[in-house]
Structure 1
């Protein structure tokens, strides 16, 4: 299979044309990984969508696996760097609710489609999830803020799974504003307002 061929990463010319081709390959890979997942996306398909030769993909990235890592880093890391912590959940959620539209970050959609791949892919996805959870944990004053953040992230991915992968109605066609509105109050309670213990003995 061409996807796992061993190709050394050659020195690449960094002129305007080369950068344009590299970006097209990244964009094409992001779209296809989000649509099909890692395993079902081939190097040939990525190159074809980018209008580039397969050899250029290996020249710029070395392997499909390395390209996947860069797709995840470019999207997820950029979102983490540029989004205020209190807006991260909604920004990530809206990105998944807008699934299928061009532009925007699709890292979590890529994550959902690629779950169940190789150990290396699982490790890359786990690392990104840990970074999202670490940011969400800063919103909780509770001692178990880390657990609350993991639950929030699990909810986020679960919503995406049911809408993007399973296509469960009515969620699959629900208006993004309606979904975000319903989610917001519960999320605030989970992360920002620790539940008070009731009196002993009820």
Structure 2
């Protein structure tokens, strides 16, 4: 037996294959979530998209819910809210949400995608946690002033609602509108939310 054979675990290739299959299932789940929404994703569809046996979903994740949680939890943290100048934030968020070239990993965890699948407790919890972390906490801290958390969540509602009407429902005017036109209106609507309200008489 050679030194290389002695040092290499007997199940090394098997472990690598298992890791690759597991990542393939996660990637397939993200693609399907981005396309159909989390509520519509089934373990059968995920397995078929990954070219794997459905039983492997339960072997590696235990349940559909655990697969969804891990698929969404592994997406890269979104620094848009933290790093974008406030004046540019509304149209930046809108363009990011509506851009068809946005990677599936990002679209899978977008607010509109999560809200669309919020008929299940798991997805509803994920959506609420994402909104709390990104808007209720992070954006609210940047906004300051009266009702900062409420104003931040209203920004989330504005972007999410437009995204849902355009991409998931397909309403006539919003679906047909040029993104630049939408961005102009979004900036106008969001301006009142981004600036602290002045004193009332």
Using the size of structure 1 for normalisation, the TM-score is 0.75
Which residue pairs with 1:84 in the alignment? 83
- What's the secondary structure of 2:142's corresponding residue? coil
Residue pair 1:112, 1:160 contacting (<8 A) in 2 also: no
Of Structure 1 and Structure 2, which has the larger fraction of its residues in helix? 2
Matched, 1:127 2:129: yes
Residue pair 2:24, 2:50 contacting (<8 A) in 1 also: yes
Count of residues in correspondence between the two structures: 183
- What's the secondary structure of 1:163's corresponding residue? helix
Closer, same or farther: CA 173–41 of 1 in aligned 2, 3 Å: same
- Superposition deviation, residue 182 in structure 1: 3.0
Residue pair 1:142, 1:194 contacting (<8 A) in 2 also: yes
Closer, same or farther: CA 148–159 of 1 in aligned 2, 3 Å: same
Gaps in structure 2 of 5+ consecutive residues: 1-13
Q: Structure 2 residue aligned with 1:167, among 164, 167, 170?
A: 170
Closer, same or farther: CA 71–93 of 1 in aligned 2, 3 Å: farther
Which moved further from structure 2: 133-142 or 147-156? 133-142
Gaps in structure 1 of 5+ consecutive residues: 1-12
Using the size of structure 2 for normalisation, the TM-score is 0.75
Computing the radius of gyration over CA atoms, which structure comes out larger, 1 or 2?
2
Tell me how large the CA RMSD over aligned residues is: 2.8
